[in-house]
């Protein structure tokens, strides 16, 4: 497994990030523990979760599953770069959500208890809170860093101008500020190339793409549907995306076969080739799915394949950052 620095920091993380959203609701606890053990065997040591994950089992259930895995010992916690998130409501109480100083600190304490750890390596804001002043947000984050409960701070689902505002406010406070941005980014969703990624590169913020296969559409969905093994691809938004892009997806799956890669790994390899990308988040539901993804960090795409992918899934406008993507 290859490693790289997280944004402008000296922290090293694996080039794939283990997403844990399936742990509990879709993947039983014992198998979730197996996936995390297997991840460390592969050298994949960057884990991502959130306080609200757990859904039908109850918010916080996923962090608790990870916490019980850490509690098994064997150096598990020390070997993992652990990321979690704050923003979503854990209860119906009005102050139990968002990015107020009160909720940031209280949510961190709750995550630490569930995760059975003394510190969080990367504490991410799950969404923008337009009601929270940046002075308040940074005051709370600075406190957590000073207390040793948080090492680095990241964001998720921020616009480019939010990254700039956050960093300029942090700079005035002599605080490190954001080191990562977790955004949706894949061949079918390239909006981040307009402003988010240029802003992140300017400020030394690492990009951690979520939904790198666009809900499975880029993971060989058409072949799975034909074989009767499709899961998410046959219902809801995924089916609509597949129908809208069926022609491109057919060509994409054919291209994957031509270059000797699975469709899923082709999509991941494309992301790993993109400027500013630190580590796409993969969400394996089984250990076998994890094993299939890991080799992609040692695979590269030639210029012809990259050009063909641009033809199949064009960037927004003329390509590249705004305003050049749409202006003369």
DSSP 280: P
Which of helix, strand or coil describes residue 122?
Answer: strand
What the block records as the tokens of 21 is: 């959203």
What the block records as the tokens of 53 is: 């994950």
Taking the C-alpha atoms of residue 281 and residue 273, their distance in angstroms, rounded to an integer, is 15
Taking the C-alpha atoms of residue 275 and residue 184, their distance in angstroms, rounded to an integer, is 15
Contact residues for 201 (Cβ-Cβ < 8 A; gap 6+): 275, 276
- How far, in Å, are 109, 112, 117, 166, 217 from residue 148 at the CA level? 12, 12, 12, 22, 41
Q: Which of 143, 185, 182 is nearest to 162 (CA)?
A: 182
Can you tell me which residue has the tokens 């058409």? 222
What the block records as the tokens of 37 is: 């053990």
Question: Phi, psi (5° rounding) for residue 49?
Answer: -145, -170
Taking the C-alpha atoms of residue 67 and residue 129, their distance in angstroms, rounded to an integer, is 28
Taking the C-alpha atoms of residue 147 and residue 141, their distance in angstroms, rounded to an integer, is 10
The answer to whether 185 is a known catalytic residue is no
Residue ranges of the alpha helices (H) in 2-129? 29-42, 61-70, 76-79, 101-115
Catalytic residue selected from 53, 87, 185, 203: 53
Which residues are known to be catalytic? 53
């Amino acid at each position: 497994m290859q490693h790289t620095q997280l944004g402008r920091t000296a922290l090293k993380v694996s080039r794939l990030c283990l997403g844990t959203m399936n742990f509990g609701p879709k993947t039983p606890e014992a198998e979730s523990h197996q996936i995390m053990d297997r991840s460390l065997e592969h050298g994949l040591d960057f884990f991502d979760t959130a306080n609200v994950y757990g859904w039908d089992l109850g918010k916080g259930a996923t962090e608790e599953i990870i916490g019980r895995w850490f509690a098994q010992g064997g150096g598990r916690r020390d070997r993992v770069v652990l990321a979690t998130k704050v923003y979503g409501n854990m209860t119906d109480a009005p102050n139990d959500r968002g990015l107020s100083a009160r909720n940031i600190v209280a949510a961190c304490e709750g995550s630490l208890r569930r995760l059975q750890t003394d510190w969080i390596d990367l504490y991410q804001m799950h969404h923008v809170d337009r009601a929270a002043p940046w002075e308040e947000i940074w005051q709370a984050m600075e406190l957590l860093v000073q207390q040793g409960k948080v090492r680095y701070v990241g964001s998720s689902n921020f616009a480019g101008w939010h990254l700039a505002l956050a960093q300029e406010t942090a700079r005035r406070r002599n605080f490190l500020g954001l080191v990562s941005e977790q955004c949706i980014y894949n061949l079918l969703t390239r909006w981040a190339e307009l402003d988010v990624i240029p802003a992140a590169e300017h400020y030394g913020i690492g990009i951690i793409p979520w939904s790198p296969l666009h809900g499975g559409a880029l993971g060989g969905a058409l072949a799975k549907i034909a074989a009767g093994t499709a899961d998410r691809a046959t219902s809801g938004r995924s089916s609509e995306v597949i129908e809208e892009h069926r022609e491109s997806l057919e060509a994409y799956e054919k291209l994957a076969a031509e270059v000797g890669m699975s469709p899923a790994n082709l999509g991941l390899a494309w992301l790993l080739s993109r400027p500013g990308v630190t580590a796409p988040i993969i969400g394996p539901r089984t250990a076998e799915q994890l094993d299939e993804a890991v080799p992609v960090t040692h695979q590269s795409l030639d210029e012809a394949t990259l050009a063909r992918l641009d033809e199949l899934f064009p960037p927004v406008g003329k390509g590249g950052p705004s305003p050049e993507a749409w202006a003369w």
